[in-house]
Amino acid sequence: MPLVRIDIKRNTDASYAKRLGKVVYDSMKAAINVPDHDNFQVLAEHDDDHFVFDTTYLGINRSDGVVFIQITLNEGRSTDQKKLLYKTIAEGLNREVGVRLEDVFINLVEVKKENWSFGSGIAQYAS
């Protein structure tokens, strides 16, 4: 059950953030076997004063089109699976939405299964 947060600078295209989210969800399904209907996302747009990033950290030249993606998911995926996910997301965003590869910033937050409640105050994944 990933929870995806995508943050971008305010965009004139009202469908832009949702298109980013679709690519991320499709990438998670392809790279780390996220099932159908397991799609939970928070898509946020920010003005210049509330969207701060370094344009050259680690020698990567970022533009104002940078996309921050944070995915909270169950722990247990291998480093190779994570690398495939990063690559699949970046290439998908580039191909489908025109995001520069350098502008795809991804952070995974891994949690234990018992740290989820999908509703009704119940920890559905807790044993």
Q: Which CA distances in Å does 30 have to 7, 52, 89, 100?
A: 22, 31, 10, 21
Residue 2: active-site member: yes
Q: Which CA distances in Å does 1 have to 57, 92, 112?
A: 31, 21, 11
Catalytic residue among 2, 27, 89, 90: 2
Q: Closest Cα to residue 67, out of 39, 32, 16, 104?
A: 104
- Across the beta sheet with 40-46, the strand order is 40-46, 3-9, 67-74, 104-111
Beta strands in 49-121 (DSSP E): 67-74, 104-111
Which residues are identified as catalytic? 2
